[in-house]
Structure 1
Amino acid sequence: MPLPRPLAPTGRVAVVAPASAPLDPADAHAGLSVLRERGLRVETADPAGGPAAYLAGTDDARVAALNAALARDDLDALVCVRGGYGVLRILDRVDYAAARAHPKLVVGYSDVTALHLALWKEAGLPGVSGPMVASDWGVGLDAETEADFWRVVGGDAGYDVRGPGGEALTPLAPGEAEGVLLGGNLALVTALLGTPFLPDLTGAILFVEDVGEAPYRIDGMLARLRLAGVLGRLGGLVFGMFTGADVAPGRPTFSVDEVLAHYAPSVGGPVASGLVYGHVPRKSTLPVGVRARLTCGAEARLHVLDPVAA
């Protein structure tokens, strides 16, 4: 299918809420203001009826608003207001035919991981794992994080992924692999196991991060991916940030780094850690569904080969 159009600072975007509502509405208003100040023509596609408990709206309302936005030709991108929870509830009702017929960038991370992977699996639509309206734009992006976002949505390619401060990756297992770059939140990747919406990850370069998960929980999710045969089929694996993984003092635990190192040999290809990506203020924006190359030797490099938009 054709690639989505690049998103320029003068593009037209709709803000969608397929998961949870903003924790603080003021952050959403601030984020909308920042995007408009950058020159974007921004409109909101709020679910009818308003929030429902921990959801931005009922399943019917959220999927209706999302599908209506996916079907439009006059939008360059959909930017999610935040993650939270809720995308899993509507994946079987997303209009993938509309997404395929009217390709556009979908921007978000965290719970939006499930939508990115499903859109790639069902429609061949690549996406952008990047800053969201309330969670990021509304609380402030540093200049380097914002510049990286515009580079990716603008259709850049042929570059090494480095952190906003130039942070390099750390090699955990040697090798070189080229494949489709897929991933996002580890809990959501794991949650898609056994569903029709997890892409075939054979040969893929998978990137993962998470927040608020203790080391034993991260261990358990990686164990599930190993037991399901996913880790062994990967071309390569890149670990991002695992924030909020603290364990109460005095409790026996492995460190997160020890857990990640334990599963690196299960991949059988290059594995790296230290990707500045996840639930942190400063982070890299990553394309989802484009070819990339991961090389791990004395150093580790993740090189994006193809653009996410053209």
Structure 2
Amino acid sequence: MTKHIYIYSPSSAIRDKAAFRRGVKRLQALGHEVEIDEAALSVHQRFAGDDATRLASIARAAASGADIALIARGGYGLTRILDAIPYKAIAKAIGRGTEFVGLSDFTALQSALLAKTGAVSWAGPAVGEDFGAEGGADDIMEACFDDLLSGQGEGTGWRMPARDAELKFKPVHGATLWGGNLCVLTSLLGTPYFPQVEKGVLFIEDVNEHPYRVERMLDQLRMAGVLARQRAIVFGQFTGMRKVPGYDRGFGFESVVDRLRHLLKVPVLTGLPFGHVPTKILLPVGAQVELAADGRDVFMVWGHRHAHDHHDHA
């Protein structure tokens, strides 16, 4: 099942070229036709080329006719060009069957695309950190990616931590899945690029953030009324979280989650296998999902997705 994968760099410059090369080779070894954007390895300050260069690469990805448009890496760079990205061209490409996949800084493009067009994109792997991982690509991540390529993926499931064994919530039906990196998402609040999703399922993840910073961002979303309007909040992986020894005194990730549960009537779930971790599932941002639990086992289903399943109301 050979697929055409277009690799481009819309955010930070590729610093780990070895990982990038490993990722490209891995995708080729899986039998895919890999096309690398002409500016993928460009460098301008901390970015993969200046703003105009990266905007042009996004436009080329949309025009590529590829099955998958896959980011080389995340980092930082998309929020500064959100007011110039060709959203209608991307939505049309998605309508023709190109799936846009990425994570981290890519949350900015995904959120803006959803806000502007309603088109569905995928929270998923990047070339370098995932397919090019030094110890080899993660089997579950590759299986989920393969499900997307073959059109077989119709949902996912995971087991919440033991401390959440007693958590009960009513099944959620027909809710819009949205979210991504918490820091990037919060930075869009109050802009035209923040999705106005009512009664959705919001998933979040982050990396290298102190617990109090995570809480502060969540409080910003909470006080803006965003969290209370959802049907469920789903925590992915919060990795590299650094507590201050002798200062936080027991205040950590679990404290943040417990307080949020106390303040919200909305169910707050944890353990979603997504974030800056090797084992990550792929999630259709903007799709309608069902969410239910059996004890600690959570199931999220989006059904069979066709290339034309988006609503272009741009």
The 5 A counterparts of 1:24-43 are 24-43=16-35
- Compute the displacement of 1:90 (Å): 1.2
Deviations 1:11-61 (A, max 9, x none): 112101110122211111111111111111111114389211211110010
For the structure 1 residues 180 and 49, does the alpha-carbon distance in structure 2 shift closer, same or farther, using more than 3 Å as the test? closer
Per the alignment, in what secondary structure is the counterpart of residue 161 of structure 1? strand
- Compute the displacement of 1:157 (Å): 4.8
The 5 A counterparts of 1:157-236 are 157-162=153-158, 167-168=159-160, 170=164, 172=167, 174-178=169-173, 179-236=175-232
The 5 A counterparts of 1:242-281 are 242-253=238-249, 254-281=251-278
- Alpha-carbon distance between aligned partners in 2 of 1:182 and 1:14, rounded to the nearest angstrom: 24
Unaligned stretches of 5+ residues in structure 2: 308-314
For the structure 1 residues 256 and 173, does the alpha-carbon distance in structure 2 shift closer, same or farther, using more than 3 Å as the test? farther
Are 1:14 and 1:44, in contact at CA under 8 Å, matched by a contact in 2?
Answer: yes
Is residue 88 of structure 2 the alignment partner of residue 97 of structure 1? yes
Name 1:135's counterpart in structure 2: 129
For the structure 1 residues 56 and 180, does the alpha-carbon distance in structure 2 shift closer, same or farther, using more than 3 Å as the test? same
Task: Give, as a single letter, the amino acid of the residue that structure 2 aligns with 1:126.
Answer: V
- Compute the displacement of 1:187 (Å): 0.6
- Alpha-carbon distance between aligned partners in 1 of 2:305 and 2:44, rounded to the nearest angstrom: 34
Are 1:292 and 1:302, in contact at CA under 8 Å, matched by a contact in 2?
Answer: no
Is residue 288 of structure 2 the alignment partner of residue 288 of structure 1? no
For the structure 1 residues 20 and 48, does the alpha-carbon distance in structure 2 shift closer, same or farther, using more than 3 Å as the test? closer
- Alpha-carbon distance between aligned partners in 2 of 1:300 and 1:265, rounded to the nearest angstrom: 22
The 5 A counterparts of 1:96-135 are 96-103=87-94, 104-135=98-129
For the structure 1 residues 226 and 300, does the alpha-carbon distance in structure 2 shift closer, same or farther, using more than 3 Å as the test? farther
For the structure 1 residues 46 and 228, does the alpha-carbon distance in structure 2 shift closer, same or farther, using more than 3 Å as the test? farther
Task: Give, as a single letter, the amino acid of the residue that structure 1 aligns with 2:143.
Answer: A
Identity rate, percent: 37
Name 1:69's counterpart in structure 2: 61
Name 2:45's counterpart in structure 1: 53
- Compute the displacement of 1:218 (Å): 0.3
State the number of aligned residues.
Answer: 297
- Alpha-carbon distance between aligned partners in 2 of 1:281 and 1:217, rounded to the nearest angstrom: 24
Is residue 1 of structure 2 the alignment partner of residue 20 of structure 1? no
Are 1:15 and 1:44, in contact at CA under 8 Å, matched by a contact in 2?
Answer: yes
Deviant stretches of 4+, over 6 Å: none
- Compute the displacement of 1:173 (Å): 6.0
The 5 A counterparts of 1:139-150 are 139=133, 140-150=136-146
Query: TM-score under structure 2 normalisation?
Result: 0.88
For the structure 1 residues 154 and 287, does the alpha-carbon distance in structure 2 shift closer, same or farther, using more than 3 Å as the test? farther
* RMSD (Å), alpha carbons: 2.0
Are 1:99 and 1:123, in contact at CA under 8 Å, matched by a contact in 2?
Answer: no
For the structure 1 residues 21 and 175, does the alpha-carbon distance in structure 2 shift closer, same or farther, using more than 3 Å as the test? same
- Compute the displacement of 1:249 (Å): 1.6
More displaced stretch, 143-152 vs 26-35: 143-152
Per the alignment, in what secondary structure is the counterpart of residue 262 of structure 1? helix
Are 1:270 and 1:294, in contact at CA under 8 Å, matched by a contact in 2?
Answer: no
Are 1:15 and 1:79, in contact at CA under 8 Å, matched by a contact in 2?
Answer: yes
- Alpha-carbon distance between aligned partners in 1 of 2:54 and 2:180, rounded to the nearest angstrom: 21
Name 1:44's counterpart in structure 2: 36
- Compute the displacement of 1:76 (Å): 1.2
Query: TM-score under structure 1 normalisation?
Result: 0.89
Are 2:7 and 2:40, in contact at CA under 8 Å, matched by a contact in 1?
Answer: no
Name 1:301's counterpart in structure 2: 298
- Alpha-carbon distance between aligned partners in 2 of 1:184 and 1:25, rounded to the nearest angstrom: 26
